[in-house]
């Protein structure tokens, strides 16, 4: 079974621009979560989607948004990029409805550099 | 609110020696606990998990961890490490609530460095 895939793997953007990152979950996984990883703040939860609805959200400004499609694929968008948005963005997927739903499986991440 | 503290930011150890990476958590509700490993320029790989049942859980690559509810700890151990175990290790917690699905709280990570 294929793992979680994220595209693109690397991105370089300029301050003020916006960016869209994509995540395809493991087949059969219907929950998708997003995390930001930086050297200073570590791994921080951004948001989680299930059944095309945002079910939980972390403490990030409204410039960070996401959505989920009917096939469970998810995208996250960051508008008006700031230098501090430079990070590794990780997507994770999980099953829903059993205790196994708490196990999250991560993709390789998208490395975003804002200049 | 939940929180996770990894007590060591860096752990150097010689090859074939035992290692323990320490993790403490704080939560007012029941939790599920995880250890993940991250190799350079890669995502996170699930090493092991505690969901219920036996407090001693075994994972991949010879790692194991023990859930201690009274000490609120979930320390990771390996009896004999290899050079290939060099990586960053993250302890994570989530709450046993369906409505809070998908939110893992991570510790700051422990960098394990295995020397020959």
CA–CA dist B101, B86 (Å, integer): 31
Cα B68 from chain centre: 13
Considering CB atoms only, which of B32, B43, B109 is closest to A109? B43
A23, B74, B87 from B52: Cα distances, Å:
30, 13, 27
> Across the strands, what pairs with A79?
none
Q: Which residue of B has its CA nearest to A40?
A: B108
pLDDT in 10s for each residue of chain A, 115 residues: 789 999 999 999 999 999 999 999 999 999 999 999 999 999 999 999 999 999 889 999 999 999 999 999 999 999 999 999 999 999 999 987 777 778 899 999 999 999 9
Q: Is B85 helix (H, G, I), strand (E, B) or coil?
A: helix
How far apart CA B108 and CA B111 sit, in angstroms, is 10
CB atoms within 10 A of CB B86: 17
Ranges of chain B whose pLDDT falls below 50: none
| Nearest-neighbour CA in chain B from A17: distance (Å) | 25
Q: Which of A43, A105, A108 to mutate to test the interface with B (most CBs of B within 10 A)?
A: A43
What pLDDT is stored for residue B75 in this prediction? Answer: 98
CA angle B94, A53, B98 (to 5 degrees): 30
Q: Is beta strand B19-21 parallel, antiparallel or unpaired with respect to A5-7?
A: unpaired
User: Which has the closest alpha carbon to B106: B77, B81, B74?
Assistant: B74
In this structure, the strands spanning A110-114 and A10-13 are parallel
Distance, C-alpha B114 to centroid of its chain:
17
Contacts with A70 (C-beta within 8 Å, 6 or more apart), sequence order = A52
């Amino acid at each position: 079974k294929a793992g979680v895939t994220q595209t693109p793997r690397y991105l370089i953007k300029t301050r003020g621009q916006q960016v869209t990152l994509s995540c395809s979950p493991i087949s059969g996984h219907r929950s998708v979560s997003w995390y930001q990883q930086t050297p200073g703040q570590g791994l921080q939860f951004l948001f989680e989607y299930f059944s095309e609805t945002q079910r939980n959200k972390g403490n990030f400004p409204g410039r960070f948004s996401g959505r989920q499609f009917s096939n469970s694929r998810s995208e996250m968008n960051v508008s008006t990029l700031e230098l501090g948005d430079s990070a590794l963005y990780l997507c994770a997927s999980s099953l829903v409805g059993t205790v196994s739903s708490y196990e999250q499986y991560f993709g390789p991440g998208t490395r975003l550099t804002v200049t | 609110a939940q929180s996770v503290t990894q007590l060591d930011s860096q752990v150097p150890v010689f090859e074939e020696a035992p290692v323990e990476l320490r993790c403490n958590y704080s939560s007012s509700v029941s939790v599920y606990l995880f250890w993940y490993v991250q190799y350079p320029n890669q995502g996170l790989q699930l090493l092991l998990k505690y969901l219920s049942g036996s407090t001693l859980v075994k994972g991949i690559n010879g790692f194991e961890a023990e859930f201690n509810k009274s000490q609120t700890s979930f320390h990771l151990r390996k009896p004999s490490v290899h050079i290939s175990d060099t990586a960053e290790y993250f302890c994570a917690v989530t709450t046993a609530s369906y409505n809070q699905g998908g939110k893992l709280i991570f510790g700051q990570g422990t960098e394990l460095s295995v020397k020959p």
